[in-house]
Amino acid sequence: MRKWLATQTMNFTGQLGAGIRYFDLRISTKPRDPDNELYFAHGLFSAKVNEGLEEINAFLTDHRKEVVFLDFNHFYGMQKYHHEKLVQMLKDIYGNKMCPAIFAQEVSLKYLWEKDYQVLVFYHSPVALEVPFLWPGQMMPAPWANTTDPEKLIQFLQASITERRKKGSFFISQVVLTPKASTVVKGVASGLRETITERALPAMMQWVSTQKPGESGINIVTADFVELGDFISTVIKLNYVFDEGEANT
């Protein structure tokens, strides 16, 4: 099942070096774990959370003008003390690098550089309301198409972007296809990457390449196996596309 549950092959350092600046993070405890460790999880347990966060911090320390978005959007088996442990971990590792929650429209690279902020932490739990450096999860909506059909995915992504104008927040376009149980059974030996992601990549990349950033356009783009094709370079190039009438830089 690992082939179907793993959605990336690169670690944090590899993804950061390649240009990734947003991370979809799902946190879990392990049953009967006497140490109450926290783990990244996606069906299976992955690395310890503190190790991954330290890895990201090492990159940020070496690259003082880089900014990352950490989106803690699923929690499994976590009690109040687990959340308290995670919040303290974030404080200990990132400290003053974390940008307190403000209006999304106020956040720019210029603002972040002036304040020496490098980390925005989004936390999809009521805990976020109690901690100044945790941005409420609703400020990072990520509509999920839940389909294996590339055409339906693209229709969903386009409709979601149009809807974004009402939200006044950050916004994620998940360029991700989700396998059904029958798909997994048929391709049990191959896995998510080969059975779905690679085959659908051309159509998905065509859609991404035609998007524009801005208030009525694309914002954050996520995908499985980000090293495939030209995904990273295509998304980065979108930063240099401006609405008609604005100067190119």
Summarised one tens digit per residue, pLDDT across range 123-143 is 999 999 999 999 999 999 999
> Is 134 exposed, middle or buried, given 0-12, 13-18 or 19+ CB atoms closer than 10 A?
buried
Cα–Cα distances in angstroms (integers) from residue 173 to residues 20, 92, 238, in the given order: 14, 31, 13
pLDDT value at 249 more than 50: no
Query: What percent of the chain lies above the pLDDT cut of 90?
Result: 56
Residue with tokens 């974004």: 164
Q: In the structure, what pLDDT confidence band is assigned to residue 248 with cuts at 50, 70 and 90?
A: very low
Output DSSP code: residue 128: G
Q: Distance between CA atoms of 83 and 137, rounded to whole angstroms?
A: 15
CATH class in words for 1-137: alpha beta
Q: Distance between CA atoms of 192 and 6, rounded to whole angstroms?
A: 8
Closest Cα to residue 74, out of 28, 20, 37? Answer: 28
pLDDT value at 58 more than 50: yes
Instruction: Tell me the sheet residues that pair with 28.
Output: 39, 76
Q: Distance between CA atoms of 118 and 59, rounded to whole angstroms?
A: 11
The domain segmentation of the chain, as residue ranges, is 1-137, 150-238
Summarised one tens digit per residue, pLDDT across range 171-229 is 999 988 776 545 444 544 455 555 556 677 888 889 999 998 887 889 999 987 787 77
201-207 long-range contacts (CB < 8 A, ≥24 apart) are 201/228, 201/229, 201/231, 202/229, 203/150, 203/151, 203/154, 204/150, 204/153, 204/154, 204/175, 205/229, 205/230, 205/231, 205/234, 207/154, 207/157, 207/158, 207/175
